[in-house]
Structure 1
Amino acid sequence: MKKAFTQLHIAVFLAGFTAILGKLIGLNEGLLVWYRLLLTVLALVVILFIRKQLVRLSMQDMLQVFGVGGIIAFHWVTFYGSVKYANVSVAVVCLAASGFFTAFLEPIIFKRRIKPVEIILGLLAIIGIYIIFDFHPQYKLGIIFGIFAALGSSLFPIFNKKLINRFTPSILTLYEMIGGLIVLSILIPVYLYFFPATYFLPTLADWWWLIVLALLCTVLCFDLQLNALKKISPFTSNLAYNLEPVYGIILGFIFFKENKALHTQFYLGVALIIIAVALQTALVISSHRKKKA
């Protein structure tokens, strides 16, 4: 069990580290995600081929999974756009808005009643983001990207819930990455028209960080989480991932000294978001205990 917890928290740390890599890689965010998807697909194909776990999906299933892959690509592009047009700390804080979107979208998609308490907690996180937005106008574009990244972050697990029981996680991830790569390949010329790139081929340093991003922060992160889930419940895993923004902020402070560029209002906004996340976590724990009783 101790090993499983260690694997889980390494996976959460690697997820938080992706924002740092987004800052270190000089590529335009659209191209960055395109190369990340390409390298991840190649790595997964090799791994699954060696393990003899490669399977073919039907055309109907493939289109459904590809659609979710498109959402992942959208989330990654907007997230790295937030990192580049604001900074790491602002980008990871904006992801807290995903709770607000989930509170509305999940009941609509699964046709269940909207819970007022989830809306209130989501609004608390939105107020925290607004405070940051109001006092840091230089991050306006980055925060807008961050809000869209939160929307993508909320949609991805909702639609994945419908697929996870039908396919193995490794196959699902592979086809989602392929779908994201195809969707982004089609849309990237339009994206680059509105958000031009200064260069198109990764530099030597970019290649190094892209390999780290694809192999460590995508493939290894995914593998560690799956291994941890053999001993730890999805419930515990989801709670652990609440630490991802915390890791991201701390790493942003360490690597880029972002604390020197942030005002007191940033911390006030973060405090409101942490309160919202803490209350949501407490509600989930309480609900989980009642179901076990």
Structure 2
Amino acid sequence: MKHSYFMLHLAVLCLGLSGVFGKLISLNEGILTWYRVFLAATILFFILKWYKIPTDFTFKEKLHIAKNGLLLTASWLLFYASIKYSNISIGVICYCMASFFTAIFAPMINKAKFRLSEILLSGLTLCGIALIFHFDTSHQLGIVLGIISPAFASLYAINNERLTKKYNAICINYYQMVGGALGLACLLPFYIQHYPISTFIPNVLDILYLIILSLCSTVGVYLAFTEILKKISAFTLNLSLNLEPIYAILIAFLFLNEAKELNLSFYAGLFLVVSSVLLQYWISSKKSA
């Protein structure tokens, strides 16, 4: 179990870089997301071939797994849109709403009882984001997009928790990335019609960032999450993801000078979000004692 928690936090640290790359890469959020899932699918394809992992699933099974990839792709698209319309700090803080949506969706989907502790802890995160939204009017569009993103991420994690009990982790992620790439490719013409873009082709620096993003912050992270979900719950995973903004914000402050864009209400909201994480760890340790 300790190994699973160590891997979880290492993965969250790598995931924190995905928001930073979202700001650094000059492409539109739709094109950026498509390149991310396409490159991830390509990397996973070669991993499957290299290790000779069998992929003899039925078409129905492949389709079922791929559909879950659409949820993740939608989450990424909205996440990057949030960052493009606001900044890294706002985008990653809003993503913390995943634990709130999981606390609501998981009992409904799994037909289980609602857990009061999960609702209260997630409510603390919600209060933090509401505080930022109310006082920071300059980033409200980014905040709205950022709040919708983790709803899709939550549904993805809940469904993935079931898939990990039946299928190989690499196969799951491969078909999910393929599903996301194909699904987004079908939607991009309509997306571009409403949100025109200047270029489809990434520059040299964008290509470097996209490769790192796809290899480290996508394939590595989500393979780790898929394995971790065999030992811990989707709620614990999503709540631990609340640490992602801390890593991302520190990087944004140190290297992108984002601190000047944020006001006191942001830091008050961040305090509430971090408090929800610390309280969850305290409650978990009391239960295991």
TM-score, normalised with respect to structure 2: 0.90
Counterpart of 2:112 in structure 1 is 112
Letter in 1 for 2:141: L
Partner SS state of residue 220, structure 2: helix
Q: CA deviation at 1:5?
A: 7.5
8 Å contact kept, 1:45–1:54:
no
* Aligned pairs (5 A) from 1:26-45: 26-45=26-45
Summarize the Cα distance change of 1:70–1:226 in structure 2 as closer, same or farther, 3 Å threshold: closer
Q: CA deviation at 1:123?
A: 2.2
- Which whole-Å CA distance do the structure 2 matches of 1:102 and 1:9 have between them? 19
- Which whole-Å CA distance do the structure 2 matches of 1:211 and 1:221 have between them? 14
- Which whole-Å CA distance do the structure 2 matches of 1:97 and 1:182 have between them? 27
Summarize the Cα distance change of 1:38–1:268 in structure 2 as closer, same or farther, 3 Å threshold: same
Q: CA deviation at 1:6?
A: 6.8
Q: CA deviation at 1:8?
A: 5.2
Counterpart of 2:125 in structure 1 is 125
Q: Deviations over 1:70-128 (max 9, x none)?
A: 00100110111111111111111111211211111111000112223322222221121
More displaced 10-residue stretch of structure 1: 139-148 or 269-278: 269-278
Q: Deviations over 1:137-190 (max 9, x none)?
A: 111111111101111121111011121111011111111111111111111122
- Which whole-Å CA distance do the structure 2 matches of 1:4 and 1:115 have between them? 23
Counterpart of 2:219 in structure 1 is 219
More displaced 10-residue stretch of structure 1: 121-130 or 143-152: 121-130
Counterpart of 1:137 in structure 2 is 137
- Which whole-Å CA distance do the structure 1 matches of 2:216 and 2:9 have between them? 14
Q: CA deviation at 1:198?
A: 2.1
Counterpart of 1:156 in structure 2 is 156
**Identity rate of aligned residues, in percent?**
35
8 Å contact kept, 2:96–2:242:
no
8 Å contact kept, 2:243–2:274:
no
Q: CA deviation at 1:218?
A: 1.8
Q: CA deviation at 1:252?
A: 1.4
Counterpart of 1:280 in structure 2 is 280
Q: CA deviation at 1:207?
A: 1.1
Summarize the Cα distance change of 1:264–1:197 in structure 2 as closer, same or farther, 3 Å threshold: same
Summarize the Cα distance change of 1:205–1:124 in structure 2 as closer, same or farther, 3 Å threshold: same
Q: CA RMSD in A?
A: 2.6
Counterpart of 2:69 in structure 1 is 69
- Which whole-Å CA distance do the structure 1 matches of 2:47 and 2:242 have between them? 29
More displaced 10-residue stretch of structure 1: 243-252 or 84-93: 243-252
Partner SS state of residue 163, structure 2: coil
Letter in 1 for 2:207: W
Summarize the Cα distance change of 1:240–1:128 in structure 2 as closer, same or farther, 3 Å threshold: closer
- Which whole-Å CA distance do the structure 2 matches of 1:242 and 1:130 have between them? 16
Letter in 1 for 2:190: V
More displaced 10-residue stretch of structure 1: 258-267 or 110-119: 110-119
Counterpart of 2:210 in structure 1 is 210
Aligned length: 287
- Which whole-Å CA distance do the structure 2 matches of 1:26 and 1:164 have between them? 35
Q: CA deviation at 1:225?
A: 6.2
**1:82 matched to 2:82:** yes
Counterpart of 1:97 in structure 2 is 97
Q: Deviations over 1:182-205 (max 9, x none)?
A: 111111122222322221111222
Counterpart of 1:201 in structure 2 is 201
8 Å contact kept, 1:36–1:210:
yes
Counterpart of 1:243 in structure 2 is 243
TM-score, normalised with respect to structure 1: 0.89
Letter in 1 for 2:260: K
- Which whole-Å CA distance do the structure 2 matches of 1:221 and 1:161 have between them? 15
Summarize the Cα distance change of 1:253–1:135 in structure 2 as closer, same or farther, 3 Å threshold: same
8 Å contact kept, 1:97–1:125:
yes
- Which whole-Å CA distance do the structure 1 matches of 2:157 and 2:210 have between them? 25
